[in-house]
Amino acid sequence: MTSLKDRVTATTGARANLWTRNTAIIALMLLLLVVLVGWSASVGQVPIPPAEVFGSVMHHMGFDIGPMPASPVGEATLWEVRFPRIVMGLLVGATLACGGCLMQGVLANPLAEPGVIGVSAGAAVGACVTIVSGGIWASVWGIAGAAFITALITVAMVYALSMRDGSSSPVMLILIGIAVNAFASGIIAFLTFAADTNDREQIVFWQLGSLQGVGWKPVWVVLPIAVVAISASMLLVRRLDLLSLGEISAAALGVPVETVRRFAILLVALLTAAAVAFTGIVLFVGLVVPHVMRLIVGPRHLILLPTSVIGGAIVICAADLGSRTLIDGADIPLGVLTSLVGGPVFFLLLRRSRHAGVGW
């Protein structure tokens, strides 16, 4: 028989190996993200070599290292067009993936994603109403503000309707979310029908999602929301692991299930509303990225949540790079690419899990 000392030594060694492996995975993901950011900043209608991109960044940080962009418009292109777009893409990807990871954990349902509780649909209704109403409200900031507010109101309504005897049910949250999404889709369809040609095109384009024309001001609005909400999400990792055992078991282990669920849904609403307010709806990131990360790093949220955040940033950065470069002179909507890639990827994940006999 194996002695207690040998078992403790084996357990400690396994944990050390797991920690080393996860650290290596995070380091590789961060390296890939840096490469993608540099590549995305380099390509476009005004090509800027990576060395000049690096030199420009270093000069802005106060270090006289590397060459500055040789093109007369290179510096302006980097700091007024590409970097705001890249940073916003990183924030959108990180927040959507974080929201998806939280939803799947708190509902114990790997098919859950932020849109299931009506965040995206609510945001779309607010944006569409603002666009159709016209006037001073139909500005970028007016549309973003309306989308953010209606997204939060929709989530609050879904949560309130799912309450029964002082607690909410994951099944009722999902079912009511489906009903609210359907109702919101009807409102959007009616507004699209009633709008004139220009407004109709703007509604369709907003729902497809895009980072085109994003400046620094929206970035400074989304950044603090993303940082605070993602940081707060990390406080839930242990309790999300316990929730995976079931609500009864988690409650027996001291988890305030309803409080955790309420807090997590609030964070998901903030993360998703901030993500879609300025860029429109971007599909599949919150659903697929946590799935892929779960296969790579396992189900523990202490490592799953941060890797999902990084993975989401990688996916949006790569998708935005593709949207700008796949067709010369055209900017493909971001949501189109994430849907075209995310749908088949998710289908393959489902088939792989079924053939491997993995239960959800």
Domain residue ranges of the chain, discontinuous segments joined by +: 95-355
Look at the block and give the residue holding tokens 């590549």: 39
Query: Is 306 or 276 the better-scoring residue by pLDDT?
Result: 306
Region 166-194: mean pLDDT is 86
Residue 18 pLDDT > 80? no
More confident residue, 34 or 344: 34
| pLDDT tier, 352 (very low <50, low <70, confident <90, very high otherwise) | low
First to last CA, the chain: 35
The arithmetic mean of pLDDT across residues 70-83, rounded, is 88
- Return the structure tokens found at 208: 């497809």
| Residue 267 predicted with pLDDT over 50 | yes
Q: Residue 186: its pLDDT value, please?
A: 92
* Other Cβ atoms within 10 Å of 177 Cβ, number: 24
How far apart CA 284 and CA 351 sit, in angstroms, is: 17
Angle of CA points 93, 57, 80, to nearest 5°: 65
| Residues facing 163 on adjacent strands | 168
- Report the pLDDT averaged over residues 333-344: 84
Question: What tens digit of pLDDT does each residue of 318-338 get?
Answer: 999 999 888 887 788 888 888
Confidence of residue 359 (pLDDT cuts 50, 70, 90): very low
pLDDT above 90 as % of the chain: 30
Would the pLDDT of 7 be above 70?
no
CATH topology of domain 95-355: ABC transporter involved in vitamin B12 uptake, BtuC (1.10.3470)
pTM: 0.89
- The mean pLDDT value of the chain amounts to 85
Please state, in angstroms and rounded to a whole number, the distance separating the CA atoms of residues 183 and 98. Answer: 26
Q: Average of pLDDT values for 119-145?
A: 83
8 A C-beta contact, residue 188 and residue 203: yes
Average pLDDT over residues 13-41: 88
Check residue 12 and give its pLDDT: 60
- Split at pLDDT 50, 70, 90, the class of 355 is low
Lowest mean pLDDT among 213-217, 303-307, 344-348: 344-348
Percent of the chain with pLDDT over 70: 91
The DSSP bridge partners found for residue 164 are: 167
For residues 37-61, b (16+ Cβ closer than 10 Å) or e, as one string? beebbbebebebeeebbbbbbeeee
> What is the mean pLDDT of the segment spanning 164-190?
85
